């Protein structure tokens, strides 16, 4: 069985880190919690094995199911320090749209689906290391959102990148401009990831690159303007 298990949620994919204890990465859109927990059971594990929840960033398709999952499992939740307050707030989650025109059109729908506040137990920062599969390293990769993080698994040679990049039509791309707050910062984060050693790159909305991903990333970076 793979030790990093991908769960389609209908929004952004979630991931399970399967070890003695389970780490859940992202919780999908509102209402995704039941499906995530059922996947855990289908793997022959108890939902109480989920001890850690990590959120890559605060967009509703990544954090929407968090409060629901928290009601059923004993896990503590880690979020980057730049976004913890927004997730705990009773105010709606920040708009995912950079363009004000699109935000005005879509935000009323998103606010109607807003899941409400969720608990944050630990505020994460770049370089933090957490247990699971020999160590999970936090890489702050801002740009898409201020507190976007990627998760590096040195023992697996894998990185879960969230929405820091796209992988469409068989090639790497910058994150979607409609939903990325600071593209210059996002490009800096991608260059930062090129200094991380990995072979597999996992995305939230696209199939993973399973081999030579860091090489492919460096090739992509060579096409960017200085």
* pLDDT given for residue 133 in this prediction: 83
CA distance 131 to 11: 27
Give a yes or no: residue 183 inside a domain: yes
**pLDDT tens-place string over residues 135-184:** 999 999 999 999 999 999 999 999 999 999 999 999 999 999 999 999 99
Domain count, the chain: 1
74 compared with 71, residue with greater pLDDT: 71
Give a yes or no: residue 170 inside a domain: yes
Give a yes or no: residue 226 inside a domain: no
Mean pLDDT to the nearest integer, 194-201: 95
CATH number, residue 13: 3.60.15.10
C-alpha Rg value of the chain to the nearest Å = 16
* pLDDT given for residue 225 in this prediction: 67
Give a yes or no: residue 131 inside a domain: yes
* Polymer length in residues for the chain: 226
Quick one: pLDDT band at residue 54, thresholds 50, 70, 90? Answer: very high
CA distance 4 to 159: 10
Q: Which residue range forms the structural domain that includes residue 19?
A: 4-221
Give a yes or no: residue 71 inside a domain: yes
Q: How far apart are the first and last CA of the chain?
A: 42
Q: Which CA distances in Å does 180 have to 19, 20, 145, 150?
A: 33, 36, 6, 15
Quick one: pLDDT band at residue 63, thresholds 50, 70, 90? Answer: very high
Give a yes or no: residue 180 inside a domain: yes
Quick one: pLDDT band at residue 134, thresholds 50, 70, 90? Answer: confident
* Nearest of 9, 16, 1 to residue 33 by alpha carbon: 9
Say if residue 11's pLDDT is above 90: no
């Amino acid at each position: 069985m793979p030790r990093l298990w991908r769960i389609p949620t209908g929004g952004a994919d979630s991931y399970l880190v399967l070890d003695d204890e389970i780490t859940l990465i992202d919780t999908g859109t509102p209402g995704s919690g039941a499906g995530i927990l059922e996947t855990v059971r289908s793997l022959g594990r108890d939902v109480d094995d989920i001890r850690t929840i990590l959120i890559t960033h605060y967009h509703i398709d990544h954090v929407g199911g968090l409060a629901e999952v928290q009601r059923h499992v004993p896990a503590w939740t880690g979020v980057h320090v730049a976004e913890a307050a927004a997730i705990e707030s009773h105010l709606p989650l920040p708009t995912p749209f950079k363009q004000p025109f699109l935000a005005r059109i879509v935000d009323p729908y998103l606010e109607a689906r807003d899941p409400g506040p969720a608990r944050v137990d630990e505020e994460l920062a770049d370089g933090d290391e957490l247990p699971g599969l020999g160590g999970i390293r936090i890489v702050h990769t801002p740009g898409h959102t201020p507190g976007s993080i990627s998760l590096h698994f040195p023992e697996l040679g894998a990185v879960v990148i969230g929405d820091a990049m796209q992988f469409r039509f068989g090639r790497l791309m910058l994150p979607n401009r409609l939903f990325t707050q600071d593209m210059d910062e996002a490009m800096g984060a991608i260059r930062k990831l090129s200094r991380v050693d990995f072979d597999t790159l996992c995305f939230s909305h696209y199939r993973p690159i399973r081999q030579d991903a860091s090489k492919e990333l460096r090739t992509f970076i060579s096409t960017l303007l200085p």
